[in-house]
Structure 1
Amino acid sequence: MIPKKNIPRAIKKALAQPEYAFSNLFHRVIASIYYHLYDGISYAPETVSLFLTYKCNLRCFMCGQWGEEGIFKSYSPSTLKDLISLDDVGALVRELKRYKTNFTLFGGEPMLHPHWLEIVHLIKKNGLRCNIVTNGTFVGKYAKAIINSKLDEIIFSLDGPEEIHDKIRRVPNTFNRTINGFKKLKALKEQKKTKRPLVNINTTINELNYKYLEEIIEIARDIGAKM
């Protein structure tokens, strides 16, 4: 059940993405029926998250992967080179296609996977929803390809205005690179008269950015993120 305080947000999201909302509702109803009819055996997953790569081009201080206490720092070079294969993704997509399972791509930085766009095309070709969670630094580079891929949604990290964002990311010019990329994406979407991909933000509130939340909202609105 949705908590009462989250109902307005859920309604707003459903109005923005009616097909997605209906699909999720249908899936949850079927899952509930399946659970009760088959002695607690679960239905197919509503969403599958694919971890594409350990690699990341940023070193955000609070990140549990590559930050100050990041676990990936202790991994061997051979482990860090591991990538999910296109064949494995294809097999999974074909298996779950009939259940209309949603796919979310993440990492590391998923756009560092050499075949991430092919993975998006594969998922979309099979009629399934595909989202990506990214730091946003490669959106400008791939803006045209992203729109052509029919990717449904981009969720990217925005943690403050320029100085704060770059301080958290610990790589110079990250803010400008990211924001300019999303402005390019927004312009291309307007040019092609398409709403896809939808853009949403993730913000990790911490001691460096908690005073800048209103600015973060304004920046997000300026690049076309859904608020």
Structure 2
Amino acid sequence: MLYDRYGRPVTNLRITVTHRCNYRCFYCHMEGESGFEEITVDEVARLVRIASRLGINKVKLTGGEPLVREDIVELVKAIDEVKPSDLAMTTNGSLLKGLASKLVDAGLRRVNVSLPSLKREVFSRITGVDMLDMVMEGLLEAKNSGLSPIKLNTVVLRGLNDGELWDLMEFARRHDFILQLIELEPIGVGDEFYESYHSPLDDVEKWLEENAVDVEVRRLMHNRKQYDLGG
């Protein structure tokens, strides 16, 4: 068993399976970086087996964009053969259509999907691509394929998507998704960018506290609060 510096057991493993990405987000300096050698399927399987022997039984795949890998289904299957208790993926969702059911069959349990906006023009400005329809189709297929829970990650950016938070909440409620509103942090983006786009979530959190039918504090997630709005 592995423990962190606070004496807590380490049970989660995050694997960056690629640095490539099919987005060109204006705040990302990687710009679809492809200069890194990608970890192979065999290397991933070996890593997960070693981690399993150390008590790590939850695996999350990240990128870049994991779904740009042509062997991503094979990679998921190789991990599933080690029998982790949870196998998840963070994705931008644009390539989920046509892959979601295959990933479920290979052993994927759940996904976190980045969704910066429900408006095409805002989505395109943030991501640098016109793929909102593809993401929506991918989310529908992911839901119908049995991936659950499906979490939506939205980084709140002042002057861009901060005016549609209620629409995002309603979209998530209607489709039984979990929406994670993420406050922009002054790390890796530069002071000027942070000052231009940072939008405090204090008012949103206050409204949620007053209107949620239930509030769960996730102790293992840095005391992150999860609000249930019902319906």
> TM-score under structure 2 normalisation?
0.67
Verify the 8 A CA contact 1:182 1:223 in the aligned structure 2: no
Question: C-alpha offsets along residues 9-67 of structure 1, whole Å, 9 cap, x if unaligned?
Answer: xxxxxxxxxxxxxxxxxx8xx848xx7xxxx8x78732121111111111111224228
Post-superposition offset of 1:218:
2.0
Aligned equivalent of 2:163, options 208, 211, 226: 211
| Aligned match for 2:38, one of 80, 83, 97 | 83
Number of equivalent positions: 175
- Alpha-carbon shift at residue 176 of structure 1 (Å): 0.9
Gaps of 5+ in 2: 180-231
Separation of aligned partners in 1, 2:176 and 2:21: 25
* Residue 162 in structure 1 maps to residue 119 in structure 2: yes
Partner of 1:8: none
1:117 aligns to 2:73 (yes or no): yes
RMSD value, Cα: 2.5
Tell me the TM-score normalized by structure 1: 0.68
Give, in whole Å, the separation in 2 of the partners of 1:125 and 1:112: 22
| Among candidates 96, 117, 138, match of residue 51 of structure 2 | 96
Q: Is the CA contact (8 Å cut-off) linking 1:53 and 1:83 kept in structure 2?
A: yes
Q: CA deviation at 1:89?
A: 0.9
Matched residue SS, 2:138? helix
Deviation at 1:165, TM superposition (A): 1.7
Return the letter of the residue paired with 1:166: S
- What is the distance in 2 between the residues matched to 1:44 and 1:127? 19
Query: Residue 53 in 1 paired to residue 10 in 2?
Result: no
State the distance in 1 between where 2:145 and 2:8 align: 39
Which of structures 1 and 2 has the larger relative contact order (alpha carbons within 8 angstroms, sep 6+)? 1
Unaligned runs of 5+ in 1: 1-26, 190-195
Q: Deviations over 1:118-172 (max 9, x none)?
A: 2211222212121111000011120221221231220011111122222211111
Deviations 1:46-103 (A, max 9, x none): 2121111111111111224228xxxx4xxxx6x24x2111121121111122314311
Corresponding residue SS for 1:216: helix
4+ residue segments displaced more than 4 Å:
none
Between the aligned residues of both structures, percent identity stands at 24
In structure 2, the residue matched to 1:225 is: 177
* Matching residue of 2:106: 149
Separation in 2, partners of 1:106, 1:151? 13
